[in-house]
């Protein structure tokens, strides 16, 4: 019968959730270190640069998603090939000469390097764009320039890390990914204190700490891939690279997948940016409330992403094995796990909303204003968990086109449509629109899944 689907998803998801939850701590330490330097200009300049680069890397997250789906399918394909070759009654479904363990990884790394070099060489353009947007001057402008210059030279490594982590997630190496991310974040925090504070490198110290941590994670990921894939005894009969790894058609496949996921990321980021910038027009209090409420959204995203990573891996594995029955069992188990986590978040926010608010701010005006959004925050995980779950399914299926189309419909109808209809509620309309976006994503992806992938069809 094999491993229980729910148990397998949880075994993969829990380490990923723990790894994701270590990320906010890094941001808090960065802010604390910069906030304790001699001038607030250090924090102002570096914070703008860090936010911009993090958003740019978040948009490039399509590299991680596409690699996870391809890696998971490869994992399933090789598992099936190993089983077939060990069974004398069945010939291999795929000729072993055409199987290369690292074909997709090598292609994805080439794409990431090219994209990273383009972004790095365009750093003067990005810096000018930031100066035009923020109108910073003096020490704040100098801090921004120093931080961005150092971080952008390492963008190719940051993008390679996305690909390598995606590969390891697809290979179901969740504990290894957790170890890499937690150790990388811990190193970053320690170097922040040593370089920026103890050695008085200030903003440059914070930037170099991140760069060194990114290199450390890169090397740990390479070492992990070497031990988990290259030295695997059950894969010894398969080549690292097949004679087809340079095939233009194979490159077109991954480029097409990345293109679709890129447009999906741009649409999602555009909706989230609209909440931030439009909310600022409603006033200082509303902008502050939105910033606080976005922390609830981030907490939900970090938790549900952990489940989504596991879903990507197991659905991709069954797709690689071309086992439709197993695939549907994993999909049903994924929905159950995602629903349970959504309900848990709902209860946490229902009973801990005020406590979390007081942890995030001491401003009574903001706390009072945020009370109006209580039911929005409580409802958010119950509505959002569906789209995170189905995103994981479609990444495992490598159907970026479906995710792109779903996001387009959701952005136009679920987000902008709801915002226009409820705009008389001012800032609250933005959160109604965010709920609409998440609900429409879940509806469209769920409809497509039932129509095209249901085992009963």
Which residues are CB-contacts of 312 (< 8 A; sequence separation ≥ 6)?
65, 68, 69, 72, 169, 170, 392, 393, 395, 396
| Two tokens, residue 372 | 């109006």
What's residue 340's pLDDT?
94
Cα four-point dihedral sign 289, 290, 292, 297: positive
Higher pLDDT, 399 or 99: 399
| Two tokens, residue 44 | 């102002």
Per-residue pLDDT at 102 exceeds 50: yes
Per-residue pLDDT at 22 exceeds 80: no
Confidence of residue 78 (pLDDT cuts 50, 70, 90): confident
Per-residue pLDDT at 87 exceeds 70: no
Higher pLDDT, 136 or 400: 400
Neighbours of 18 (CB within 10 A): 15
Confidence of residue 48 (pLDDT cuts 50, 70, 90): confident
Share of the chain above pLDDT 90, in %: 53
Confidence of residue 344 (pLDDT cuts 50, 70, 90): very high
How far is the C-alpha of 253 from the C-alpha of 290, rounded, in Å?
Answer: 39
Please state, in angstroms and as integers, the Cα–Cα distance from residue 9 to each residue in 140, 153, 313, 332, 380, following that order: 46, 37, 9, 11, 23
Higher pLDDT, 291 or 349: 349
pLDDT winner (highest mean) among 79-88, 203-212, 288-297: 203-212
What's residue 438's pLDDT?
97
- Phi, psi of 122, rounded to the nearest 5 degrees: -90, 10
Q: Can you tell me the mean pLDDT for 145-157? A: 91
Q: Supply the DSSP symbol for 283.
A: -
Per-residue pLDDT at 89 exceeds 60: no
Q: What is the average pLDDT score of the chain?
A: 87
How far is the C-alpha of 400 from the C-alpha of 396, rounded, in Å?
Answer: 10
How far is the C-alpha of 441 from the C-alpha of 385, rounded, in Å?
Answer: 10
Q: Contact, 160 vs 113, CB < 8 A?
A: yes
Q: Contact, 73 vs 398, CB < 8 A?
A: yes
Per-residue pLDDT at 88 exceeds 50: no
Q: Contact, 419 vs 337, CB < 8 A?
A: no
pLDDT digit string (tens) for 203-252? Answer: 888 899 999 999 999 999 999 998 877 766 556 556 677 777 777 888 88
Per-residue pLDDT at 1 exceeds 50: no
What pTM value is reported for the model? 0.91
Burial class (CB in 10 A: 0-12, 13-18, 19+), 35: exposed
What's residue 234's pLDDT?
58
Q: Can you tell me the mean pLDDT for 310-338? A: 93
How far is the C-alpha of 59 from the C-alpha of 53, rounded, in Å?
Answer: 10
| Two tokens, residue 443 | 């509806």
């Amino acid at each position: 019968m094999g491993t229980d689907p729910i148990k397998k998803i949880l075994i993969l998801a829990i380490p990923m959730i723990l790894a994701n939850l270590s990320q906010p701590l890094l941001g808090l330490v960065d802010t604390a270190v910069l906030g304790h330097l001699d001038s607030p200009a250090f924090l102002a300049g570096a914070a703008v640069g860090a936010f911009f680069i993090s958003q740019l890397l978040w948009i490039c997250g399509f590299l991680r998603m596409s690699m996870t789906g391809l890696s998971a399918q490869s994992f399933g394909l090789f598992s099936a090939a190993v089983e077939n070759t060990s069974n004398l009654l069945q010939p291999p479904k795929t000729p072993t000469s055409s199987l290369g363990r690292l074909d997709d990884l090598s292609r994805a790394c080439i794409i990431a390097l090219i994209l990273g070099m383009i972004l790095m060489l365009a750093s003067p353009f990005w810096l000018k764009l930031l100066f035009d947007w923020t109108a910073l001057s003096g020490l704040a402008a100098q801090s921004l320039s120093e931080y961005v210059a150092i971080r952008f030279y390492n963008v190719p490594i940051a993008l390679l890390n996305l690909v390598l982590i995606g590969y390891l997630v697809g290979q179901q190496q969740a504990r290894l990914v957790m170890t890499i991310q937690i150790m990388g974040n811990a190193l970053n925090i320690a170097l922040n204190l040593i370089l920026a504070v103890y050695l008085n490198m200030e903003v440059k110290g914070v930037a170099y700490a991140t760069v060194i941590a990114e290199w450390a994670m890169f090397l740990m990921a390479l070492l992990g891939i070497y031990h988990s894939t290259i030295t695997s005894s059950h894969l010894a009969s398969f080549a690292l690279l097949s004679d087809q790894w340079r095939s233009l058609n194979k490159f077109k496949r991954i480029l097409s997948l990345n293109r679709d996921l890129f447009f999906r990321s741009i649409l999602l980021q555009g909706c989230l940016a609209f909440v931030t910038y439009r909310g600022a027009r409603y006033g200082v209090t509303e902008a502050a409330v939105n910033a606080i409420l976005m922390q609830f959204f981030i907490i939900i995203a970090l938790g549900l992403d952990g489940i989504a990573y596991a879903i990507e891996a197991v659905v991709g594995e069954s797709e690689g094995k071309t086992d439709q029955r197993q695939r549907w069992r994993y999909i049903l188990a994924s929905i159950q796990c995602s629903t349970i986590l959504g309900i848990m978040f709902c209860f946490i926010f229902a009973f801990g909303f005020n406590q979390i608010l007081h942890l995030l701010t001491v401003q009574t005006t903001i706390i009072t204003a945020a009370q109006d959004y209580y039911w929005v925050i409580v409802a958010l995980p119950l509505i959002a968990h569906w789209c995170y779950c189905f995103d994981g399914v479609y990444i495992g299926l490598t159907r970026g086109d479906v995710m792109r189309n779903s996001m387009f419909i959701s952005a136009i109808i679920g987000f902008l449509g709801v915002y226009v209809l409820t705009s008389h509620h001012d800032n609250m309309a933005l959160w109604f629109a965010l709920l609409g976006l998440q609900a429409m994503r879940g509806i469209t992806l769920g409809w497509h899944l039932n129509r095209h992938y249901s085992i009963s069809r």
